[in-house]
């Protein structure tokens, strides 16, 4: 068993290296005669399906985790298996969209569950410290940060994600968005907000701003602060 650092999957490995910490399941790459690829699994939700009520309903959490995220995991395993077996560059290129879509979906949702926390839990409080100060410095105030993240996330046409990201080059916190299930590669993900309709539709229908306001009650600022600290120290 070995992980390849060169060859046709090199760029793909690099992409995943950036988001590796998001995927707790071990990623084994075997290039034996059977050419079986890695096996990703659906991570457990760190809380009960109803823990984010009334802000995000149990029905949404259940479907989102058990159906949507599971589908990305299943799809990723299938896409990677096919990719490893594909004998030509052309065939591998044809499979890249499926790897990107399902892989991105798995990465993004794995990050997402951890950046949410049960309603009323201490993790949902943004307490004073390095992270809060950094936000105030970057955006003027926590309110201004919230407004910018919500506005930019709501403005996404179609499906995608709004992020608070850490820019390692400029050592600053910035709001960025990604389309579809593209993983965030330009920044270290600190907070991600899923704005695909499946993330909110059953409860909020077309009223995205209501969902975006509600989710602030269940963002895990402790996790965000930890990600920020790690991003800063690994600059």
Partner 1 sequence: MTYELPPLPYAKNALAPHLSEETLNFHYEKHHRGYVNKLNQLAAEKPAWAGKSYEELIKTESGVVFNQAAQIWNHTFYWKSLSPNGGGAPTGKIAELINEAFGSFDAFKEKFSAAASGHFGSGWAWLVRDDNNKLQIVSTHDAGNPIKDGHNPVLTCDVWEHAYYIDFRNDRPKYIATWWNLVNWEFANSNLKP
Binding site for partner 1 (CB under 8 A): 63, 67-68, 71, 97, 101, 157-159, 179-181, 196-198, 201-202, 205-206
Q: How far apart are CA 211 and CA 145, in angstroms?
A: 17
Nearer CB in complex with partner 1: 6/206: 206
| Least distance to partner 1, CB of residue 15, Å | 17
Residue in 204, 113, 107 with CA at minimum distance from that of residue 154? 204
| Least distance to partner 1, CB of residue 44, Å | 19
Nearer CB in complex with partner 1: 67/147: 67
Structure tokens at 212: 């975006």
Nearer CB in complex with partner 1: 129/209: 209
| Least distance to partner 1, CB of residue 122, Å | 33
| Least distance to partner 1, CB of residue 71, Å | 7
Helix 10-19 / helix 89-114 crossing angle, nearest 10 deg: 0
| Least distance to partner 1, CB of residue 17, Å | 23
| Least distance to partner 1, CB of residue 145, Å | 24
Q: Judge whether 74 and 106 are in contact, CB under 8 Å.
A: no
Nearer CB in complex with partner 1: 89/158: 158
Nearer CB in complex with partner 1: 30/74: 74
Nearer CB in complex with partner 1: 50/180: 180
For residue 166, the tally of other CB atoms under 10 A from its CB is: 22
Residue in 190, 188, 189, 208 with CA at minimum distance from that of residue 198? 208
In 78-105, which positions are buried (b, 16+ CB within 10 angstroms) versus exposed (e)? Answer: ebbbbbbebeeeeebeebeebbbbbbbb
> DSSP 3-state helix, strand, coil percentages of the chain (rounded to 5)?
50, 10, 40
* H or E segment and range at residue 106: helix 89-114
């Amino acid at each position: 068993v070995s992980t390849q650092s060169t060859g046709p999957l090199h760029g793909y490995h690099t992409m995943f290296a950036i988001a590796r910490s998001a995927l707790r399941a071990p990623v084994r790459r075997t290039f034996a005669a059977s050419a079986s690829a890695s096996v990703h699994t659906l991570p457990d939700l760190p809380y009960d399906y109803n823990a984010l009520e009334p802000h995000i309903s149990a029905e949404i959490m259940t479907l989102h985790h058990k159906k949507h995220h599971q589908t990305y995991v299943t799809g990723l395993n299938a896409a990677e298996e096919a990719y490893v077996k594909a004998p030509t560059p052309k065939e591998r290129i044809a499979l890249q969209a499926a790897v990107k879509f399902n892989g991105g979906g798995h990465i993004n949702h794995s990050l997402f569950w951890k950046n949410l926390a049960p309603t009323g839990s201490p993790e949902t409080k943004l307490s004073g410290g390095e992270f809060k100060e950094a936000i105030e410095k970057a955006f003027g105030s926590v309110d201004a940060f919230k407004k910018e993240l919500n506005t930019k996330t709501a403005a996404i046409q179609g499906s995608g994600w709004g992020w608070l990201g850490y820019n390692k080059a400029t050592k600053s916190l910035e709001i960025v968005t990604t389309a579809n299930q593209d993983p965030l590669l330009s920044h270290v993900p600190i907070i991600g907000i899923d704005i695909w309709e499946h993330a909110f539709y059953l409860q909020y229908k077309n009223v995205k701003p209501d969902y975006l306001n509600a989710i602030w009650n269940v963002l895990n600022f402790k996790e965000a602060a930890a990600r920020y600290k790690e991003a800063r120290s690994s600059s």
